[in-house]
Structure 1
Amino acid sequence: MDLIDVNLENRKIESTIISFTIYSANAWMTLIAPLIIGLLASKLYAKGDFTTGEIALYIIFGLIHLAFAAAMFYAATKKSVSIAVDEIVEENKNLKRVRIPKATRMYDTSIAQQSVIYLMTLELESLIDEMNSRPANRPMNKRLKDWTEGTERILSHLVKRRTQLFGYSNDSLYNFALYMYDASSEDLYINWRSHDDRLTPSGRRWKPGHGHVGLAFIQDQAKICADITKSSELADNNSRHNDNHNYRSFISIPIKDSCKATGGKKPLGVLVFTSSAPNQFSWQRDKFFTLTIAKLLSIHIERNIIECTGAPL
């Protein structure tokens, strides 16, 4: 028998005992006790002497009366053990149905995030070693190609493990993009991108302050949106209606120019994760993970900018 069945049996037994006790107490209080009190009153008015046996009986009757009174008081104020067990059973159901699965998912996601960060860090270290071993007179076109290939090597781990990291389903269309700032045109262009095959991206550029990409850049702070159709800040900030369906939730993380490779006054770019499903991302779950990725990218980008421009380290 499981806990629920045992509790049901206990409830039946508990109900029978309490019902019998209450019935006995009521019978005593309404039938027997008044007769005994009447006999006691008659004896007192007759001014007769009480025998030892009568005294003993009245003491016993008094104790019984007090016991039944206490039983009735306890029955009126007690908390049923069965009710407490029912509450525990319901809490266990909630744990099994909601909390434990959620904790399991959080744990699995945390493990996946740690693994991806570790792999990306190893990739970055390998790229830096390769960069340091290249000749100083390496042609610019090859340096730019190395930069592009290095970015792909780092961010490919995100694409491969997107389901474990962010919980993408078969119906949710993913889109990961790295936007870089072009000082000559003063807009943000796509430097790297990976997206679902069912998407047809436009590859457009964003001006600072426009769209979630431009807002994250101009405000120099991360942006997260659970549902763009419900955002007063962003619902009308897209240029195409389809964006609200294909890019419904997102996280945009500015990439800091901590080494001042471009002066340090503006971010180097913006890293973007989007989904066609609402509530795809959670700031509580994804904050430190995405910020760490942005930091690794900032190191990678800064080293390549320094190498390509010839600026001193």
Structure 2
Amino acid sequence: MTENLRELASENDKANSDITEYLGTFSAIWMTLIAPIIVGIFISHWFSLPKGETIKPVVIVFAAIFTIVHLFLSYLEIKSKKRNHTHGEVTIVYDKYNEQVSTYNRLRDVYDYNCSLNISQKTATYLVSNELDKAVGELSKYLSSSPLPLVDSEEVLLEKHLNDLLWPLIVDKGSLFDYEESSLYNIALYVYNDESDKLDVKMRFHDERIRIQNRSWSPGMGHVGMAFLHKEIKCCPDIEQSTELSSKSEHDYKTYRSFISVPIIACEDNESTEARPHGVLVLTSAKENQFELQRDQMFLLTISKLFSIYLDKYEHTKKMISLLNHNEKREPENEKNDHTS
């Protein structure tokens, strides 16, 4: 529509220019040639009349028509000099229209992206919540089982549950975090180990092209340890531009270019208890600016809280089983002492 308007304005200006040119040419010929000749003939006729004879009505009518035509042409010439071209104004309107269309398309794309992101985040949260419900139910069933389970089976159950809880984020990682093939996605869950005082990898999903090392981190060391120690999200758009973090490994620079680390705060953590976090949820990418706090912060904090609920339940279950096993060992000793006495 705007393109047609622009073409029509250009054609209109060209037509106006042509008409003005023709009118100017005719007016010039009239003023410089035709009008002087007619005026000359009229004056000659007037002065050649015999004495006492008046000008004929036909001549008077002709002179009046001549005067009207002359004045009309003069008027048209004056107006043609004051005419405005519409092409320039239309071009301005056209450019403003294109700017508005560009703004509208950009805002529409942002709106569509935000709607899609919102749906993906809600879906992932819902799926993780469902997996949490199942995992807590299995832990309760596990605790009430008889005979008591072996201690080693706790780790197997933990890995299964963490796998199920992380899986919704892996399946929809492209929609949630804009991961692409070149991003070399890496999503890992670090859990704090009281005995070694380190954060160990308990579950990791990653691009097959990444050479995994599964390093453990002490509190305060690296972005994992810093997120754990400070109990706050650590987001780095580009590790090469970071003033807090650096790496001597070229592999790390290429593989873990950007990251976001989310501490899994214990449910009972408050000013009076100051409990240690359970661990840290880490996402990394080989691309810079992969993560945005405005987009990812609330979603990942919600997910980390769901992990916190599970790990609280897991720690409680682990302690209860240990206590029950300890009591079972003491009962035979008490019975033996009773018989002896």
Q: TM-score, normalised by structure 2?
A: 0.69
Contact 2:264–2:308 (Cα < 8 Å) also in 1: yes
Map of 1:109 onto structure 2: 117
Map of 2:134 onto structure 1: 126
In structure 1, what residue type is equivalent to 2:108?
Answer: I
Map of 2:293 onto structure 1: 283
Once the two structures are TM-superposed, the CA of residue 211 in structure 1 deviates from its matched residue by: 1.3
Contact 2:6–2:90 (Cα < 8 Å) also in 1: no
2:243 corresponds to which of 217, 232, 244? 232
Describe the superposition over 1:64-104 as per-residue Cα deviations: whole angstroms up to 9, x where unpaired. 9xx97xx78xx69xx925412321123314544x4433433
Map of 2:266 onto structure 1: 257
Map of 2:50 onto structure 1: none
Q: How many residues align?
A: 282
Question: Secondary structure at the residue paired with 1:107?
Answer: helix
Contact 1:257–1:264 (Cα < 8 Å) also in 2: no
Question: Secondary structure at the residue paired with 2:190?
Answer: strand
Residue 139 (str. 1) matches residue 150 (str. 2):
yes
Map of 2:308 onto structure 1: 298
In structure 1, what residue type is equivalent to 2:257?
Answer: R
Question: What is the distance in 2 between the residues matched to 1:174 and 1:241?
Answer: 17
Question: In 2 relative to 1, CA 207–80 (structure 1 residues): closer, same or farther, beyond 3 Å?
Answer: same
Question: Secondary structure at the residue paired with 1:209?
Answer: coil
Question: In 2 relative to 1, CA 205–269 (structure 1 residues): closer, same or farther, beyond 3 Å?
Answer: same
1:272 corresponds to which of 279, 282, 297? 282
Question: Secondary structure at the residue paired with 2:250?
Answer: coil
Identity percentage of aligned residues: 31
In structure 1, what residue type is equivalent to 2:316?
Answer: I
Map of 2:92 onto structure 1: 83
Question: What is the distance in 1 between the residues matched to 2:142 and 2:199?
Answer: 29
Question: What is the distance in 1 between the residues matched to 2:14 and 2:230?
Answer: 70
Question: In 2 relative to 1, CA 134–265 (structure 1 residues): closer, same or farther, beyond 3 Å?
Answer: closer
Question: In 2 relative to 1, CA 286–20 (structure 1 residues): closer, same or farther, beyond 3 Å?
Answer: farther
Map of 2:208 onto structure 1: 197
Once the two structures are TM-superposed, the CA of residue 148 in structure 1 deviates from its matched residue by: 1.7
Contact 2:143–2:317 (Cα < 8 Å) also in 1: no
Contact 1:106–1:285 (Cα < 8 Å) also in 2: no
Question: In 2 relative to 1, CA 111–21 (structure 1 residues): closer, same or farther, beyond 3 Å?
Answer: farther
In structure 2, what residue type is equivalent to 1:247?
Answer: Y
Structure 1: which 5+ runs fail to align? 24-63
In structure 2, what residue type is equivalent to 1:154?
Answer: L
Map of 1:33 onto structure 2: none
Map of 2:47 onto structure 1: none
Once the two structures are TM-superposed, the CA of residue 175 in structure 1 deviates from its matched residue by: 0.7
Question: In 2 relative to 1, CA 108–214 (structure 1 residues): closer, same or farther, beyond 3 Å?
Answer: same
Question: In 2 relative to 1, CA 298–90 (structure 1 residues): closer, same or farther, beyond 3 Å?
Answer: same
What does 1:31-110 correspond to in 2, within 5 Å?
Answer: 80-96=89-105, 98-110=106-118
Q: Which moved more, 1:195-204 or 1:85-94?
A: 85-94
Residue 6 (str. 1) matches residue 15 (str. 2):
no
Describe the superposition over 1:220-252 as per-residue Cα deviations: whole angstroms up to 9, x where unpaired. 110111111111121x2x352311110111110
In structure 2, what residue type is equivalent to 1:212?
Answer: H
Question: Secondary structure at the residue paired with 2:121?
Answer: helix
Map of 1:163 onto structure 2: 174
Q: Which moved more, 1:104-113 or 1:245-254?
A: 104-113
Greater Cα radius of gyration, structure 1 or 2: 2
Contact 1:258–1:264 (Cα < 8 Å) also in 2: no
Question: What is the distance in 2 between the residues matched to 1:146 and 1:281?
Answer: 31
Map of 1:245 onto structure 2: 254
Question: In 2 relative to 1, CA 185–134 (structure 1 residues): closer, same or farther, beyond 3 Å?
Answer: closer
Describe the superposition over 1:241-272 as per-residue Cα deviations: whole angstroms up to 9, x where unpaired. 311110111110011112249x5432211100
Map of 2:222 onto structure 1: 211
Contact 1:127–1:150 (Cα < 8 Å) also in 2: yes
